[in-house]
Amino acid sequence: MTAVSMMRSCPLPTGHAPPTPNAFPKPGFCPISGIMTALPPIIEDWFSRQGWDIHPHQRDMFDRATEPALMLIAPTGGGKTMAGFLPTLAELAEGDHEGLHTLYISPLKALAADIKRNLRRPVEDMGLPIRIEDRTGDTPQSRRKRQRADPPHILLTTPESLALLTSYEDAARTFRGLKRVIVDEIHALAESKRGDQLFLALSRLETLAPGLRRVGLSATVEDPPALASLLARHPDPCAILQADPGPDPDISMLRIDTPPPWAGGGGAYAIPAVLEQIKRHKTTLIFHNTRAQAEIFFHNLWLANEDALPIGIHHGALAREQRERVEAAMVAGQLRAIVCTGSLDLGIDWGDVDLVIQVGAPKNVKRLVQRIGRANHRYNAPSKALLVPANRFEVVECVAALEAARAHALDGDPRDPGPLDVLCQHILIRAAAGPFDADDLFKEVRTTGAYAALPRATFDACLDFIATGGYALRAYDQWQRLAQRPDGQWQLRDPRGASRIRMNIGTIQDSDRLKVRLRHSRGGAPLGEVEEAFAATLIQGDTFLIGGQIVRYEGLREMVVEVSRDKGRKPRVATYMGTKFATSTQLSDRILAMFGARDWPALPAHTADWLALQAQVSKLPERDRLLVETFPHDGLHHLCAYGFAGRNAQQTLGLLLTQRMETQGLNPLGFVATDYATLIWGLDPVRDPAPLLTRDGLHTALEGWLAENAVMKRTFKSAAIIAGLIDRNAPGGKRKSGRQATFSTDILYDTLRKYDPDHLLLRITRVEAMRGLVDFGRIEEMLGRIGGRIDHVALPRVTPLAAPLFLEMGKVPVKGSAEAAMIERERQDLMQAAGLE
Amino acid sequence: MNGLPFPFAGETLAALPSGALHWPARRLLCVSDLHLGKSERMARRGGPMLPPYEARETLARLDADIRATAPDTVICLGDSFDDLAAMRALEDAAREMLTTLMAGRRWIWIEGNHDAGPVDLGGTHLEALTDGPLTFCHIATDTAQGEVSGHYHPKARLPLRGRTLTRPCFLVDAARLILPAYGTYTGGLYSHAEPLASLMAPEAKALLLAAPPLAVPMPR
């Protein structure tokens, strides 16, 4: 939150009727709890001097401040943060609290820094004796040390910095007297391992400061009790307060004269219409689903921006300096539009945004609703949003998402139990803080919602992994990481190991990103970051987009991608990859239900006609059946399966089906997957798709295929780093390029698979891969939904619904002799070019 | 055996897919940088406790190469052990495997920077060995002539359309041959990085490990 928002968000504008005296009982102390029952006059006075009223939910939060756990759900701009801090300000107003009182945790460093500025102003205005400081990775070492010995009353920090604080021997002293923890943007934290790490840290704090009260601040979510159960100490209840959600957003599809293209995700066709909207509004946020799409859209927007409107770009792979520049310009009201990704999803307020445009289908209704909330932070004015489908099928998706948003039907998947790699890191952090008793730690961990059902045997396996490596071959008894003392307590064998642990705290995987820098700009600001895998595909002279400019790849030096500016207007390499979200189950269901309607008044004519033609030529997919089309095209035989299981699951389905086709001698050559279908091509026709789709053996086939797959190796690497098998950062040195001593984690994966297939880390890897990129759950869900009812339609030519798939990017070749031939051809070309053969 | 034959110093040698060098005329097999006991050394020094199976995995591959080529002489080109303590701490299973491999053939340990000093496992221990036109040593010298060395763990990148192939490799020019690291837990140094880039002559080739290895101009 910025200063502007904090002030604007809690109260209503001047001129609102002043509160009646009855609404403000005299401040007093509750003799039982020792906690304020009404706001101290100094705070009330300050509010009325500003001409502000206090929102009902802010007062509710204050009234119920004694609850052990309390979660507030409020839309953006609802004054959430002030609601969280009011009880703290009131309790500290007397000036008799020693040490740390309230810990505030946010997912973003920037948010912690902003809150510090915004809290200090009212605190200084009121002359309250409250010390407020932030502590993040950017805080200087000297201040961090001082903060541990002499903590402020209010400390604003991130989950990683908190985990680090709990790893010191003096953690008990630092947190002594702590009364409240405020977790901001808890809905965002809970979606990732950062949340698991945070909630485990809270279980630790509870031991250090018994009676600690927990407060969660969340945007609109689909299942508040589930989120609340993560926040509260298990099995304590958690009260949930709902703020008035405000008026429904004004949300519609952007009308564009040209129909969208058949495939692709760029939305370039919409540029003129989007520019027109930017001109008509004060400030527009333009959301994209991937960084790559944001970069391309921004580039095209600039080329078309004849009026030179000030437009910026913001996404997570840009250099911090560059993001901060855009943020500052935004807050100062200097920008008319920002092209952005999820990096702007969180609760920072960007000034006078009066329009949100979502380019590409939102894939997930909850995310759409949260993004729309970015616009128009006047509490009781509707936010305005426009959807821009990037292709013909996304028109259908957008209409389905609009219906869901209007019906307030949010989607979300049930949460899996707490991940074990994070638990392993938690055990390490605990060990760094000093000797511990395994029984005590187990009990403490089980008070964390996500780990409430953790079996003791699983905990012991994690502890054994940390202590000895957990290998079937007991090789390191002499060199154990943790040793058991005669009194049964566990401690680090070598106390110097603690610093190594502290250097590797965290669950954010950023180690495979490389900085991009202009060549010869010694010490100059980096332009941003690209994924290592993308950098590896570049050859000198390739051009790509970053931060809205075209750069030319010059080479890799140390761990930096060196580039030069390129005058060209078109990048040669599309751009770097980004996460692609899969369409949620709820949205897929709504789309299938729409197909069933047979009449589509909500759809533009171009899309309704397309669906009608499909119904006439073939069939439209149905929810409890699987439509499989086969047809010849361009000399090859094609099969299209409309599973509507989301991109990742459809991708996995492609791998499984081609594998089965291979065994049946059908010579598959490749496939491509989208959120709704998988298209496979090969040399021979599939006469009967049913045997390819039987459930029997599917899981086994998957396991066999998975074991060799890059998805598993990537998942393993991430688990190995989080669980502490390998260090992300080694003491006394940066990562060097090409160091002979460092080797790929793939080798560790292969070795474990061969010699220790039941090792804890392989079990973690399997579980994570199955629910992540492989998404096997949704394949099973789909097979269950269709229950063997397969509609096979054999046709002489491509069908309307299948046609766009031919234009999709990301075709996957089936590995085989074709690949070896390609490598050999490449090799011969090189040798001949060099005159060596 | 799926090796790639290539000429060097007037002899015909073969690069094996595993990273071993075969000299059929002399019935000689040469491997470099086994780094046996690397996981033990890392754990001992308070580093990560890696899966402790790398010694038996390395020796299992060496066993396969020895079965396939039936050499009279095996040369381990230095850094055979991650350090001497790691050699002494070698697990019994690996020690037995090694003893079996050594039985009945001439076995030469060239000393490396990691494992200088006497080796108490039998075999002959040398700083360097000259056999006909070839000289075997751990680190490449400035005045190489028919020199076979290791130490640098060379690897190279082959750009393919849309992706790259990165593999350990042999580097060879008219005067010297550098072997890839044979050990399981070993990383690599890119052929385009120093000192490899200046060490190798302009016409040098890289033989990327594959079955059979792929000869390409050395990427710079």
Closest residue on chain A to B204 (Cα): A836
- Residues A31, A115: one domain? yes
A836 to B205: CB separation less than 8 angstroms, yes or no: yes
Shortest CA distance to B61 belongs to which of A749, A708, A754?
A754
Closest residue on chain B to A499 (Cα): B46
What are the tokens at B154?
Answer: 């060379």
CATH code where residue A83 lies: 3.40.50.300
Would you state the pLDDT for residue A346?
A: 58
pLDDT bracket for residue A33 (50, 70, 90): very low
Length of chain B: 220
Q: Looking at the domain assignment, is residue A704 inside a domain?
A: no
Q: What are phi and psi of A380, to 5 degrees?
A: -110, 20
The average pLDDT across A724-738 equals 61
Q: Which of A22-31, A466-475, B182-191 has the lowest mean pLDDT?
A: A22-31
CA gap A431, A444 in Å, rounded: 14
Burial (CB < 10 A; 0-12, 13-18, 19+), residue A261, is middle
Please give the DSSP secondary-structure letter assigned to residue A281: S
CA gap A804, A393 in Å, rounded: 8
pLDDT bracket for residue A42 (50, 70, 90): confident
Would you state the pLDDT for residue A412?
A: 73
A751 to B53: CB separation less than 8 angstroms, yes or no: yes
Residue B190 near chain A (CB below 8 Å): yes
> Residue A533 contacts by C-beta under 8 Å, 6 or more apart in sequence?
A512, A577
Angle at the Cα of A713 from the Cα atoms of A709 and A716, rounded to 5 degrees? 140
| C-beta separation of A279 from A309 below 8 A | yes
pLDDT bracket for residue B68 (50, 70, 90): very high
| C-beta separation of A361 from A394 below 8 A | yes
Distance from CA of B77 to the nearest CA of A (A): 16
- Residues A590, A641: one domain? yes
CA gap A832, A303 in Å, rounded: 41
Q: Report how far apart the first and last C-alpha atoms of chain B are (Å, whole number).
A: 30
- Identify all chain A residues contacting B56, using CB atoms and an 8 Å cutoff: 755
Q: Looking at the domain assignment, is residue A348 inside a domain?
A: yes
Would you state the pLDDT for residue A6?
A: 34
What are the tokens at B43?
Answer: 């754990």
Of the candidate CATH numbers 2.60.98, 3.30.70, 3.30.450, 3.60.21, the domain formed by B4-217 belongs to: 3.60.21
Shortest CA distance to B67 belongs to which of B1, B13, B121?
B1
- Residues A598, A552: one domain? no
The average pLDDT across A379-387 equals 80
A834 to B217: CB separation less than 8 angstroms, yes or no: yes
Q: Where are the alpha helices (DSSP H) in B83-215?
A: 84-88, 92-102, 196-199
Say which of A475, A478, A747 has its CB closest to residue B91: A475
| Integer angstrom CA distances of residue A634 from A358, A631, A638, A687, B198 | 36, 10, 10, 18, 51
| C-beta separation of A298 from A548 below 8 A | yes
Q: How far is CA A575 from the centre of its chain?
A: 21
- Residues A265, A394: one domain? yes
Q: Looking at the domain assignment, is residue A522 inside a domain?
A: no
Q: Where are the domains of chain B?
A: 4-217
pLDDT bracket for residue A735 (50, 70, 90): very low
Distance from CA of A805 to the nearest CA of B (A): 21
- When divided into structural domains, chain A yields a total of 5
Q: Which of A214-223, A629-638, A655-664, B54-63 has the lowest mean pLDDT?
A: A655-664
| C-beta separation of A218 from A224 below 8 A | yes
Residue B51 near chain A (CB below 8 Å): yes
Q: Looking at the domain assignment, is residue A739 inside a domain?
A: no
Domain closes at, from A242, A261, A286: A242
- Identify all chain A residues contacting B52, using CB atoms and an 8 Å cutoff: 469, 471, 473, 475-476
A481 to B49: CB separation less than 8 angstroms, yes or no: yes
> How many beta carbons lie within 10 A of that of residue B210, not counting itself?
17
> Residue B200 contacts by C-beta under 8 Å, 6 or more apart in sequence?
B171, B173, B176, B178, B191, B218
- Residues A540, A652: one domain? no
Secondary structure element (H or E) that encloses residue B76, with its range: strand B73-76
Q: Is the peptide bond before A151 cis (omega within 30 degrees of 0)?
A: no
pLDDT bracket for residue A28 (50, 70, 90): very low
pLDDT in tens, B127-140: 999 999 999 999 99
Q: Looking at the domain assignment, is residue A47 inside a domain?
A: yes
- Identify all chain A residues contacting B44, using CB atoms and an 8 Å cutoff: 478-479
Q: Looking at the domain assignment, is residue A722 inside a domain?
A: no
Angle at the Cα of A88 from the Cα atoms of A86 and A89, rounded to 5 degrees? 65
What are the tokens at A501?
Answer: 């642990």
pLDDT bracket for residue A733 (50, 70, 90): very low
Would you state the pLDDT for residue A509?
A: 66
Secondary structure element (H or E) that encloses residue A627, with its range: strand A626-633
Residue A736 has pLDDT above 60, yes or no: no
Range of the domain at A561: 529-565
pLDDT > 70: percent of chain B: 96
Residue B40 near chain A (CB below 8 Å): yes
> B40, B178, B194, B216: best mutation site toward chain A, by most A Cβ within 10 Å?
B216
Would you state the pLDDT for residue B100?
A: 95
| C-beta separation of A377 from A8 below 8 A | yes
Q: Which amino acid is at B171?
A: L
Secondary structure element (H or E) that encloses residue B56, with its range: helix B54-69
> How many beta carbons lie within 10 A of that of residue A257, not counting itself?
7
Residue A211 has pLDDT above 50, yes or no: yes
Q: What is the ipTM of this complex?
A: 0.92
Domain closes at, from A213, A242, A271: A242
